[in-house]
Amino acid sequence: MSIECGQTANQLFLNPTDSAALAQGESTICGVRSYTVKRIVDGVDTNQTWFTVTSTSVANEKKLTGTTSVEADQGVHNMVMITSLPTTQGNAVYPTMRTLFTFTVLPATCDCTLLNWDIPTKTTLNVKLTKTPTTQLAMATVNEASKTAVPAIRSCVGALACDMTSTISLVEKSLLVLPNFVTFNNDVASRVLSLAPTVSNQMTTTNPNKPKYTLTMT
């Protein structure tokens, strides 16, 4: 089984049969099978947290699921899935079945689309006719926690680093341009919005509480 760090892989398999089940025609005559997955380190079975075995909705089918989000786990690992029967017959010890496999964890592929944005609160600006207020608009910034949240982001280093250079533009939501009395300095460091209404039809007259213009920054 092979995955990129941070991803998950599944492998379906059927419950193995045994000689008693074949002879009697009953798959669980010796009990329900249990599964344990171990990592083999220097020839010794050791506990691991990468794999689980669960049942599916299909009769007699199981699902082996492997995943890790820890970069230190990258590499090739020797694994074993141990199939066991319950020891309910006194001190009887039933044989187990060992299924060997390898688990390969590859470096995650850089994916800058996983970055999230912190969106600033909406700015409301009221202006009277012939007045010329200005304000500096807040802009969205890349969420700091998202820069290291998952392996596919943490792998974006060196030449693969995500370009976080910002450019901004401002338009009126319905007009898709700025009204002629609005100017905006789209320099990222400045972001100064200036209003200079000169005629009454540029103002809200029917409902003072309802904005006439909604500006959208991208």
Q: Residue 181 has which token pair?
A: 């009395």
Residue 31 lies in a domain: yes
pLDDT at residue 37, as a whole number: 97
Is residue 90 one of the residues assigned to a domain?
Answer: yes
Using DSSP's 3-state secondary structure scheme, residue 155 falls into: coil
Work out the pLDDT band at 91, boundaries 50, 70, 90: low
Which tens digit of pLDDT belongs to each residue from 26-52? Answer: 556 566 788 999 999 999 999 999 999
The answer to which of 70-79, 129-138, 207-216 has the lowest mean pLDDT is 207-216
Q: What is the pLDDT of residues 125-175, one digit of tens each?
A: 777 777 788 888 888 889 999 999 999 999 998 888 898 887 888 888 888
Q: At residue 78, what is the residue type?
A: N
The confidence score (pLDDT) of residue 66 equals: 98
Phi, psi of 68 (to 5 degrees): -160, 145
- The pLDDT mean for the chain works out to 85
Alpha helices in 27-105 (DSSP H): none
pLDDT at position 98 over 80: yes
Number of domains composing the chain = 1
Q: Is position 66 within any domain?
A: yes
Residue 211: its pLDDT value, please?
60
Asked whether residue 153 is domain-assigned, the answer is: no
Nearest CA among 161, 167, 209 for reference residue 191: 167
Band of residue 19 on the pLDDT scale cut at 50, 70, 90: low
Residue 52 lies in a domain: yes
- State which amino acid sits at residue 99: T
Average pLDDT of span 54-62:
91
Q: What is the pLDDT of residue 56?
A: 94
Handedness of CA 72, 76, 78, 80 (dihedral sign): positive
Domain that holds residue 99: 2-106
Minimal CA–CA distance to 6: which of 190, 148, 198? 148
Q: Is residue 45 part of a domain?
A: yes
Identify the pLDDT of residue 104: 98
Q: Is 93 inside any structural domain?
A: yes
- Virtual CA dihedral for 108, 114, 118, 124, nearest 10 degrees? 160
Non-local (6+) Cβ contacts of 217 within 8 A are 137, 139, 140, 168, 169, 170
pLDDT for residue 76: 98
> Which tokens in the block code for residue 51?
């794999």
pLDDT recorded at residue 24: 55
pTM higher than 0.75, yes or no?
A: no
pLDDT at 151: 96
In this prediction, residue 185 carries a pLDDT of: 85
User: Token pair for residue 158?
Assistant: 């060196």
CATH number, residue 8: 2.60.40.10
64 assigned to some structural domain = yes
pLDDT at site 31: 67
Strands 75-84 and 34-41: antiparallel
Amino acid at 192: V
Separation of alpha carbons 15 and 34, rounded Å: 10
Helix (H) or strand (E) holding 18: none
CA 141 – CA 147 distance, rounded (Å): 12
Contacts of 22 (CB under 8 A, 6+ apart): none
For range 166-191, the mean pLDDT: 84
